[in-house]
Amino acid sequence: MARLDYKRSEDVDADAQALFAEIAGTRGRIGPLYQMVMNSPEIARGWFAMGNAVRLRAKLDGKLRELAILLVGYLLQADYEYSHHYPFALRNGASAEQLAALPDFETSPLFDERERDVLRFAKVSTLEVVVPDAVYEAARRHFDPQEMVELAATVGFYNMVCRVIHALGIELEPGVPSRLATRPSYGPRFPG
């Protein structure tokens, strides 16, 4: 249950209304996540800028980006984020079979070496925070420095997103199907 009000354009001042319009213009709508973070327009402004940098302007391959985002959402049990990014992953080239096998990416034949190295980086960064040299180097051999920064920033940003979703009780809106069907046997423990 939401712990704060979801803001609408009419609830905020003129500067924040301009941000609402900019977000709607880029994303096509204002969903619950942005409605919630608009309780702090300056945070929403930075959030929007970082989200756009990661998703719309980064060089990192879109499929790899979305696989990493989904694994973070899965590990942190953020149904809102996982369910919203599921179709993005499909549009960026992931298969439904890969997404179903995501919890078992380490052993699944559906993932190639590069995908496994990216997912291992995302998993370790999410669950252990400090990425060991071996995990970093395995990912690094596939990417230039810009892409490594983008991978680390993507994983870090979506860790923040998932934690804010949980902290503020941001709910999956009606009409968006829940895609988070399983719970990890490792990682943080959640009630329920």
- pLDDT(21) > 70: yes
Taking each helix axis from N to C terminus, what angle separates 113-127 and 62-75, rounded to the nearest 10 degrees? 40
Confidence at residue 180, expressed as pLDDT on a 0 to 100 scale: 84
Q: Write down the pLDDT at residue 185.
A: 60
CATH architecture observed for domain 62-168: Up-down Bundle (1.20)
154 within 8 A of 53, measured Cβ to Cβ? no
Helix segments in the chain, DSSP class H: 14-27, 32-37, 41-52, 62-75, 79-91, 96-101, 113-127, 133-140, 145-168
pTM of the full structure: 0.93
Q: How is residue 55 annotated by DSSP?
A: I
In this prediction, residues 133-159 reach a mean pLDDT of 98
Residue 124 has pLDDT above 80, yes or no: yes
Mean pLDDT, the chain, whole residue set: 93
Q: Residue 162 above 90 pLDDT?
A: yes
Q: What are the extents of the domains in the chain?
A: 9-57, 62-168
